[in-house]
Amino acid sequence: MTPAYAEIYLNDAMRAMGEMLDYAVHDCGCDGDLFFRQFVSSGIAKQFERGNPKFVGGMSGVELALEVFRRTTDQIPDVDASAYGEKSPEYWAGWSLAYYQWASGMPFREIVSHGLTVSTVCSMHLLHEADIRKFAEAADKVIQENLRESETNLKRIRRANGLSQKQLAEVSGVTLRMIQLYEQRQNDINKARASTLRALAKSLNCQLEDLMEPQITTEG
């Protein structure tokens, strides 16, 4: 998997996200998982994913947190950042999530929806002294396990459109058996022919990318 943005910005991005979560939780009293959902919904997460220098390198963690609050609540806390002698589990969670997103290229929204939440990462804090790639390996396992237990994007979108597998086969021209294999993950939809994906996407009123499944590849 190609990294999300140039590595030159990575250390700044990791530090900023760690500081952002630490400030939101320890100084502003926020729940880490709730605040991270605000981070995603604010649009700032998208800027991180694109490697926008203004956000990954041009703002401190506190400034990022305040911008999240401004965009999602219209209220900016008047709270100074505390100085901690040791990095908190939340700092490490933000630091690690920034690395994982960069290495995997997976959007933060998907990372969280597939089980790698702030609280889950904090519970892995014993890895904080290990090489960051050890965390990435553990994170891959969390997401893979969650994916095994969750619906495929194809099944979720098909059901949202109120279609049975048979109905989707009829309107798309993709065989019923093929749809079943994709939804059961016996066939990898990411390797489907472009014509098949286009037919499914058109029938489900979605983008081709919406049907794709996350690629868990952070090794190397």
Q: What is the pLDDT of residues 100-118, one digit of tens each?
A: 999 998 999 999 988 999 9
Q: How far apart are CA 159 and CA 25, in angstroms?
A: 37
**Cα-Cα-Cα-Cα dihedral of 34, 31, 119, 3, to 10°?**
50
The domain tally of the chain equals 2
Instruction: Let me know whether 173 and 69 are in one domain.
Output: no
Residue 214 lies in a domain: no
Q: For 57, phi and psi rounded to 5 degrees? A: -135, -15
Q: How far apart are CA 109 and CA 21, in angstroms?
A: 16
Structure tokens at 170: 């009829």
Average pLDDT, the chain: 91
Residue 39 lies in a domain: yes
Residue 216 lies in a domain: no
Question: pLDDT category, 220, cuts 50, 70, 90?
Answer: very low
Give, in order, the Cα–Cα distances in Å from 12 to each of 32, 67, 79, 175, 177: 21, 17, 23, 48, 48
Instruction: Let me know whether 126 and 167 are in one domain.
Output: no
Instruction: Let me know whether 88 and 159 are in one domain.
Output: no
Instruction: Let me know whether 120 and 193 are in one domain.
Output: no
Mean pLDDT of the 198-217 span: 88
| Cα radius of gyration (the chain) | 19
Domain that residue 28 falls in: 7-149
Place of tokens 């990095």: 87
pLDDT tens-digit map of 160-204: 999 999 999 999 999 999 999 999 888 999 999 999 999 999 999
Question: pLDDT category, 4, cuts 50, 70, 90?
Answer: confident
